[in-house]
Amino acid sequence: MHAAHAGKVKERNWESKDITHSLFSKNSNPYSRPAHLTVWLGDLNYRIQGIDNFPVRKLIHNDLQSMLTGNDQLLQEAERGRVFDGFCEGTLTFKPTYKYDTGSSNYDTSHKVRVPSWTDRILFKIEERDEKMSANLHSYESVDGIDSSDHKPVRAHLCLRLTDDK
């Protein structure tokens, strides 16, 4: 999504709703059909807020889960019902995926010294009306060995199962 920077939560929420509407609304897309499974993945740009940079970096090494409690914008906005209603995500047990010095596994050392955040995410949703499909998330992780970007990519192993009603 385009709305980068920590303070642009409302803009990110609006962009995700606008994209969803343009893809799945019959008014915007006359060829759209009801989706059985929807997956959002990529740099969604949601940030860690309410904790300064150096305490975040210390928590990365000591207690990732305490950073999540009330500080991850995506989780906050989803809990408030403002974005990604009904979507699931695996547990964030990996280090924040942004902002690295390109070509390394070091968090930002530029003059901006950006706060590390989980900007790169994978979320999925099976439509409630689709009782024939289930999903099981086997893994959700970042790929720390790739350092060609200022982000670490994420991957998920999601198994879908169709049940037969014969």
What's the burial of 15, exposed, middle or buried (CB within 10 Å: 0-12/13-18/19+)?
middle
pLDDT of residue 140: 97
Residue 38 CB partners (closer than 8 Å, separation 6+): 24, 87, 124, 125, 127
CA distance 124 to 33: 17
Q: So what CATH class is 9-162?
A: alpha beta
> pLDDT band at residue 54, thresholds of 50, 70 and 90?
confident
Q: Distance between CA atoms of 92 and 103, rounded to whole angstroms?
A: 23
Q: Write down the pTM of the prediction.
A: 0.83
Where do the structural domains in the chain lie, given as residue ranges? 9-162
pLDDT-derived band at 4, boundaries 50, 70, 90:
low
